[in-house]
Amino acid sequence: MDPASYKKARRHFLKSTRDRDNSAAHSSDWSPFRVAEKRFKSKFPPPDLSNVLDLALLDPQRIHEINAGGWAGRPDAFPTRRINLFDSDAKGYIFPHIPGLVVLPSFLSHQKQKDLVEWSLSEHSKQPNETNLDIHYILPPEGVWNAYVAAKSDPSLDLHIPPKSSVVLDAFEQYQEQESGPRQLINNTPADSDNFDSLHNVPKLPAAPSPTAHPSSPATLLPKLRWANIGWFYHWGTKQYDFTKGKIAVHSTIRDICKHAVRAADWNQVFGNDSGDAGDLDWGENGPEWMDWNETYEPDAGIVNFYQTKDTLMAHVDRSEVCATSPLVSISLGNAAIFLIGGPTRDTEPSPILLRSGDVVIMSGPACRRSYHGVPRILENTLPSHMLSTDEDQREWELYEQYMKTTRININVRQVFPKGFAPQQHVDI
């Protein structure tokens, strides 16, 4: 943390705690996961990363990146085991106490990371893919990023993007009811092949546009971009998929990377005879399917998350996929982040892992896919130097660089339906 940011955080800390009672009294009801979230969110004093696993420290080629960013954990914060990777020069790591979690540090080349940033902003975050901004604004077809770039090159092309509340809406349109007060956590019913029909039939009303939104320029809206949907449409109000909207094919750029990551892992070392306790997991009545993932894994849904350095992702479990054990592939781009993963409840103390740009995480199997996880902290000023402009791409990359200096992009993709499940028998697809 730079001196100016440190002083600002200290002033805020002293002001916010001036009239606070004993902090222990406030935290007595916190779960172990919530305690960890609070610890890493702290701006002052800055969090201690001595118990955070930082696998980049095992790679001599990343030492400059680590030193430049100023944040570092430990390579031995908790037990890991290196596994073989097929058709890749990267390394893979698994964790005895979290069976099914696989981390692939530096899995993506520097150029591939830039390509994915460009894809996320200019190609993907526009119609027909929904974004959080579509709820409140009538966005241009080219998307907010491309409108922003056009206005930068020619100010006469700048737009005033109207809010949806400024136009006459369908008088018969029903919206999801908005509850007053603090945002409530939604513990949705886990999806499976038996309850698919009932979950599909739950009404999934659209979120109501904000009545206080004002006409805004692309430059104003861009920092408010938080997510863009991939594949099957996700309904945030119910935390279930809305299959009535149909499906958009997962772009080959992302599909190929995810399938490459899954095929690179030696799953026998993760779940097979060489995996220790991971071989005793309860996979359900159909038994383990990891042996066939090279053929059966087909990503069909996901999301691109756009985090600003002040943003967090609260502890949650992904329960919306009928296929609850298939790999979920998560790609990190830009600034580094603290990733927490615990157990089946928030009462399990989570393990912290420092994820850097180019790292890929795979969550798989019945235990890992049902574990609480979250991102309590984006580590400021950790954009690696390979994300900066070069003499060759300065003109094309300059705006991306400016945006990414305060941003972490996370692309996570999963498989909704297991092999043999025919969703078209339940809904029109």
Binding-site sequence positions: 316, 318, 373
Neighbouring C-beta atoms of residue 273, cutoff 10 Å: 8
Q: How far is CA 158 from the centre of its chain?
A: 31
What whole-number distance in Å separates Cα of residue 417 and Cα of residue 420? 8
What whole-number distance in Å separates Cα of residue 123 and Cα of residue 120? 6
DSSP per position, 361-412: EEE-HHHHTTS-EEEEEE-TT---GGGS--TTTHHHHHHHHHHHTTEEEEEE
Burial of 69 (C-beta count, 10 Å sphere; 0-12/13-18/19+): buried
Binding site, annotated residues for Fe cation? 316, 318, 373
What whole-number distance in Å separates Cα of residue 339 and Cα of residue 348? 15
231: tokens are 């594949």
- In angstroms, how far is the first alpha carbon of the chain from the final one? 50
- Please say whether the beta carbons of 56 and 66 come within 8 A: yes
Strand partners, 227: 305
DSSP class of 142: T
Strand order in the sheet with 227-231: 81-83, 92-94, 101-104, 360-363, 328-334, 407-414, 301-308, 227-231
340: tokens are 């927490």
387: tokens are 């994300």
The two beta strands, 101-104 and 360-363, are: antiparallel
Question: What are the Cα distances from residue 116, in Å, to 45, 129, 200, 214?
Answer: 34, 16, 32, 31
- Please say whether the beta carbons of 384 and 68 come within 8 A: yes
DSSP class of 225: -
Q: Which stretch of DSSP H or E encloses residue 235?
A: strand 234-235
174: tokens are 């029903």
What whole-number distance in Å separates Cα of residue 389 and Cα of residue 399? 9
Q: Looking at this protein, which amino acid is placed at residue 206?
A: P
What's the Rg (C-alpha) of the chain? 22
